[in-house]
Amino acid sequence: MDDREKLRQHFQNQPAEAHTGRWDAMWQQKVTPWDRSEPNPALIDALNEKSDIVGSSTEGGDANRRKKALVPGCGRGYDVLLLASHGYDAYGLDVSQTAIDACRELNIHQGDDDTTYPVKDAQIGRGSRNFLLADFFQDDLSSLTGGGSFDVIYDYTFLCAIPPELRPRWSKRMSELLAPGGSLICLEFPLAKSPKAGGPPHGLSSELYVQLFKQPGEEMKYGDDGHVAPDGRALDEKAGLVRVAHWSPVRTHQVGKGTDMVSIWNHAGNS
């Protein structure tokens, strides 16, 4: 049995409230098929090529006024190290203590003279790298990260990992945590997998993201094929997020080549 099937069976028929401990069990057993030992190249390219949308990692180029980035479900923390190299004070959170321990070990190993994640701008320098044992849905992240919302949030294998019934809570929480003028970067995966095939990872679609962010927190309707059913709801101008960029990445992990999409989202009032 390969690790993907072990993962699927490990979560099969388990209630959402049981998932937290079961993720830590996977880390302890070293069943981590999502770990690719590096950030997704699509995120690297997005940060380098979409700065006109995402903006600078500091206020006015001042290294003492860094913006904050969040990676929920950060795994071993590669994306946190990458975002910090671009100048953000970067926060990774995970519900697995074993995963957070692995993040902190990797962070120590990379050190301040990090050549794997070189500083993008010498004048801005590297932001802080922080790893938190925390529940994205439950914990007060403001108190854990020094207050405020996040200027950049990155989701790759987080939405697809949670039970479908938690998706409305995911979209509401994203909307709440994203700063006015901030950008949510979603690497949409897996788009080629049928939603009825189970998970994690659960099959997603680009349309699902659109529907989730129209009215964050509202329940979704699905068709017989498992795909979200567009229902004509209007965008919530106060809480909704709008897609300001959407493209097929030139580079991505092998598992998503030819199917992955990247989207960037802003608050409706700031797009």
Secondary structure of 48-103 in HEC code, one letter for each residue: HHCHHHHCCCEECCEEEEECEEEEECCCCCHHHHHHHHCCCEEEEEECCHHHHHHH
pTM given for the model: 0.96
CATH code for position 131:
3.40.50.150
pLDDT surpasses 80 at 239: yes
CA separation for the pair 102, 184 (Å, rounded):
25
pLDDT in tens, 59-103: 988 888 999 999 999 999 999 999 999 999 999 999 999 999 999
- Beta-bridge partner residues of 59: 62
Residues 6+ apart with CB under 8 A from 112: 126
Mean pLDDT, the chain, integer:
93
| Number of domains the chain is built from | 1
- What does the block give as tokens for 196? 């009825």
Domain span at 218: 3-270
